[in-house]
């Protein structure tokens, strides 16, 4: 059984190389897997399934090619693409999962999440997150014309960039207590997440028991994925 995990591809028309590499990844690596999990921020921005962007349409088509060949593809919302909706799923054949969600890998329960909810030290981000993740906010936002949503997203991205620059790196990482709580509440011993762009496999101890937190890498400079194969987890990079 092979399952692959990616996140934080941040695909965007301004960086076509990453899109090409992801298409290639789907045709080569993912095509031979049993399932692909995309743990958020597949796209740099997604303000609604009616986006006419041609690069995004390419990605959706490539995902459809994969899912129609019989490989299951699961998607979790990231902070950039939490508006991926039903039409995206219909067109790509992907299935949306709740964030967080517990999946089973060879009999082991594993927590998978985008990871932004674990960054509880970043108070202003969490405040923003809790307002834009309500059904009400999203219904109102999606009722605006596409151009207005797009303009809003560009402003939000600029604001987020400025916030990232002036916020200390440790504030933008996961909070250890939030991680411990997630382990306790879900009663798992392993979690997989992205968002922080700090790939690594961290062995921890939660209430005297071993636990593991696996962090996926971003795709800005190279491809990056986690493979679960023959009972082993391995982070791998793909040169661009």
Chain residues binding Mn ion by CB under 5 A are 41, 78-79, 195
CA distance 171 to 196: 11
| Residue placing its CB nearer to Mn ion in the complex, 56 or 195 | 195
> Considering beta carbons, is residue 67 or 195 the nearer one to Mn ion?
195
Residue 174 Cβ vs Mn ion, minimum distance, rounded to whole Å = 12
- When computed from its CA atoms, the radius of gyration of the chain, rounded to whole angstroms, is 17
72-111 in b/e burial notation, b at 16+ Cβ within 10 A? Answer: ebbbbbbbbbbbbbeebbeebbbeebebbbebebeeeebb
Residue nearest to Mn ion (CB): 195
CB of 210 to Mn ion, least distance (A): 27
Distance of CA 76 to the CA centre of its chain: 6
Q: Which residues pair with 109 in a beta bridge?
A: 104
Q: How far is the CB of 195 from Mn ion (least distance, A)?
A: 4
Q: Which is nearer to Mn ion, 2 or 120 (CB)?
A: 120
Rounded least distance, CB 187 to Mn ion, Å: 26
Cβ closest to Mn ion, residue 41 vs residue 122: 41
Task: Select 40 or 71, whichever has its Cβ closest to Mn ion.
Answer: 40
Least spacing, CB of residue 218 vs Mn ion, in Å: 9
């Amino acid at each position: 059984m092979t399952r692959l995990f990616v996140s934080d591809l941040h695909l965007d028309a301004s960086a076509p190389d990453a899109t090409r590499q992801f298409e290639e990844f789907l045709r080569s690596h993912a095509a031979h897997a049993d399932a692909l999990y995309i743990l958020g921020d597949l796209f740099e921005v997604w303000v609604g399934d009616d986006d006419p962007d041609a690069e995004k349409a390419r990605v959706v088509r490539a995902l459809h090619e994969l899912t129609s060949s019989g490989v299951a593809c699961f998607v979790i919302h990231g902070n950039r693409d939490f508006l991926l909706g039903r039409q995206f799923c219909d067109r790509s054949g992907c299935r949306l999962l709740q964030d967080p969600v517990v999946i089973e890998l060879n009999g082991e329960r594993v927590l998978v999440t985008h990871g932004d909810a674990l960054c509880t030290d970043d108070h202003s981000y969490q405040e923003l997150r809790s307002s834009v993740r309500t059904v009400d906010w999203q219904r109102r936002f999606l009722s605006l014309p596409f151009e207005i949503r797009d303009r809003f997203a560009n402003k939000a991205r600029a604001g987020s960039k400025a916030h990232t620059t002036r916020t200390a790196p440790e504030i933008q990482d996961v909070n250890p207590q939030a991680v411990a709580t997630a382990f306790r509440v879900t009663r798992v011993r392993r979690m997989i997440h992205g968002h922080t762009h700090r790939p690594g496999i961290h062995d921890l101890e939660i209430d005297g028991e071993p636990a593991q937190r696996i962090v996926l890498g971003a795709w800005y400079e190279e491809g990056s994925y986690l493979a679960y194969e023959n009972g082993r987890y391995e982070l791998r990079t793909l040169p661009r």
